[in-house]
Amino acid sequence: MEEKMSWAVSDAVNSKGFPADRSKTGGWIPAALILGIEICERLSTIGIAVNLVTYLTGTMHLPSSTSANIVTDFMGTSFLLCLLGGFLADSFLGRYRTIAIFAFIQTLGTAMLAISTKLPRLRPPPCRPGLPCEQADGLQMGILYLALYLVALGTGGLKSSVSGFGTDQFDDKDEKEKAQMAYFFYRFFLLISMGTLTAVTVLVYVQDEVGRSVAYGACSVAMFVAILVFLSGTRWYRYKKCMGSPIVHIMQVVAASIKKRSLEVPYDVGCLYEDGPEGSRIHHTDQFRCLDKAAIVTEGDFVKGGHNSAPNRWKLCLVTRVEEVKMMIRLLPIWATTIIFWTAYAQMITFSVEQASTMERSIGSFQIPAGSLTVFFVVAIMITLAAYDRFIMPSWKKWKGKPGFSNLQRIAIGLALSTLGMLAAAITERKRLSVAASVGRATTTLPVSVFLLIPQFFLVGSGEAFIYTGQLDFFITQSPKGMKTMSTGLFLTTLSLGFFLSSFLVSIVKKATGSGGTQGWLADHINYGRLDWFYGLLTILSLVNFALYLVCAAWYKPQNTKPTLQMEKIGNGSSMEDKV
């Protein structure tokens, strides 16, 4: 009997609800089956996003700024919906069902997108010489929006569960499997990067040279096959039971503290309510003392009366639960000051692609698709991570005795690089506009090399390599153990809000600078605008934000917990979009 128990994973069950057998469930094979879903998701979402702006301007005949906002809203919604997917997975469905359901939704979205780009009635007629182009009507845009947001919904559900379900296949209490889990994140990142690279090269080329409907249809088929592969591993997976949503736990602390707002926190914090196991408790802190009121014991806090009865968690919370909420609050200043990076990132898949579409992109007889310029972005990420792993970390360890930069230092480096990236973008755009003015702004292809855009792609891409790994490391290691899914979702909302902030800035700048009959900085065609000034504005905002970040990073003090509560650290190789 003891031998059988040694093969059981303590906190996981198999597909039939029995304790998972270590020899028959989990490990590399089930994890690989799960990875197929994420690879196809990256292929679809990134393949759509990086080249969507050219379809909106060239085929649907929408203005430049409107097209950019549609792309950033699509990406922002994708990441924002990660919170919904995480809530459903934690509270009701579990990660397995969440992945299966949302993967099917994304399959439907890409299939509808393939149909909408194929049928002539779902797009406006081509432009005629000497006549204004006819923009897409409400029905045509409605079908396109429905397809895009089905993809966004699928992406949001998948991002919140895939990496977590992958790590569920390894037991972190077993030394051998814990080591395998670390390798899982590196391989996860590698495969995601390969999927992204394929999207910005092969898929974008197919969209431009063969047809978008073929490319999107291939994505739909690939995702459907990935779902079948994923379902084939059902009996080999390990499953973790739903533990309830951290959002509810936070709301309970806030509700209880509001109800007891008139009470005074006792001088002796030992009088506050705490009945959890000694080894899992979190030390009390003096910050945000108003929340301590949620742990004050008063009459009526227990369901049946008496201290041996179960407490009503909406009236009385454990000190540890209160401290968990405090830990999440401490993350917020860092969270807020990383949003602007993703606003800069958004320009790499919107206006930068539009810039590329007006520039000389030929290499001999081969014409580089405008959307494929983002390959330099992906390559920059991979080169930066390789250099960090092979050169920076060993050097830093010899000099400082630490294995690389801290998570807050990596975030700072990422913010600095993105600021330089926006400055490089402004300088490059000024050069492009001067050429356009000299040869005629109506010129379809300007005599200026598209490779001038490489510095901005490389700087922002290198910035992402630092900031993404730093953010993920920070939010996971500095969050309560029971709220890691919540903190990952919080991290992903910085991507979402960054894209939405980009849309907001574009709308504000267009309205503020386009008065008096002029189109302003963000004209319908970028050759007639001043995109360099918009990039300059983003440079200034990024610089101010960087200064604020340094203040917040200096203010932040990590919470000391009991040794048994030390947060397990997920390796720096976590997925770039698990982006996510």
Ranked by mean pLDDT, which of 123-127, 274-278, 331-335 comes out on top? 331-335
Q: Are residues 462 and 478 in the same domain?
A: yes
Q: What is the CA radius of gyration of the chain?
A: 26
Q: Does a structural domain hold residue 322?
A: no
Q: Quick one: average pLDDT of 464-485?
A: 78
Of residues 173 and 306, the one with the higher pLDDT is 173
Which pLDDT band holds residue 559 (cuts at 50, 70, 90)? low
Whether 214 is in a domain gets the answer yes
Asked whether the predicted pLDDT for residue 334 surpasses 70, the reply is yes
- Residue-wise pLDDT for 128-142, tens only, equals 887 788 888 889 999
Give residue 378's pLDDT: 81
Summarize pLDDT for 95-107 with one digit per residue, the tens. 888 899 999 999 9
Residues 172 and 307 in one domain: no
397 lies in some domain: yes
Asked if residue 429 belongs to a domain, the reply is: yes
Residue 500 CA to residue 76 CA, distance in Å, equals: 6
**pLDDT of res. 187:** 66
Do 192 and 296 belong together in one domain? Answer: no
197 and 342 in a common domain: no
What tens digit of pLDDT does each residue of 256-303 get? 999 998 988 888 878 888 887 666 678 888 888 889 889 888 888 887
Percent of the chain residues past pLDDT 90, beyond the cut? 26
Distance separating alpha carbons of residues 319 and 281, to the nearest angstrom: 8
237 shares a domain with 162: yes
278/189 same-domain check: no
DSSP 249-291: HHHHHHHHHHHTTTSPPPSSGGGS---S-GGG-B---STTGGG
- Give the residue from 242, 272, 292 where a domain finishes: 242
CATH code at position 515: 1.20.1250.20
Higher confidence at residue 480 or residue 238?
238
Beta-bridged to residue 21, according to DSSP, are 8
**Would you state the pLDDT for residue 100?**
92
286, 317, 348: which is the final residue of a domain? 317
Q: What is the pLDDT of residues 24-36, one digit of tens each?
A: 787 788 888 888 8
Whether 381 contacts 508, CB under 8 Å: no
Residue 6 lies in a domain: no
* pTM of the predicted model as reported, rounded to 2 decimal places: 0.76
Pair 536, 564 in one domain: yes
DSSP secondary structure code for residue 203 in this structure: I
Read off the amino acid at residue 221.
V
Are residues 473 and 346 part of one domain?
yes
In a domain, residue 2? The reply is no
Residues 493 and 518 in one domain: yes
The helix (run of H) or strand (run of E) holding residue 180 is helix 175-198
Residue 5 included in any domain: no
* 31 in Cβ contact with 184 (< 8 Å): yes
The answer to whether residues 280 and 210 belong to one domain is no
Instruction: Report the C-alpha gap between 350 and 358 in whole angstroms.
Output: 13
Range of the domain at 561: 329-580
* Domain match, 297 and 385 both: no
Of 224, 242, 260, the residue at which a domain comes to its end is: 242
Give CA–CA dist 265/84, Å, rounded. Answer: 35
- The structure tokens 């909420």 sit at 325
Q: 470 pairs with which residues across the strands?
A: none
Pairing between β-strand 362-363 and β-strand 366-367 as defined by DSSP bridges: antiparallel
Mean pLDDT taken over the chain: 83
Same domain for 462 and 564?
yes
Residue 185 belongs to a domain: yes
**Per-residue DSSP letters for 311-377?**
B-TTT---HHHHHHHHHHHHHHHHHHTTHHHHHHHHHHTTHHHHHHHTEE-EETTEEPPGGGGGHHH
Contact 414, 341 (CB under 8 A): yes
Number of domains in the chain: 3
pLDDT in tens, 408-460: 998 999 999 999 999 999 999 999 999 999 998 888 888 999 899 999 999 99
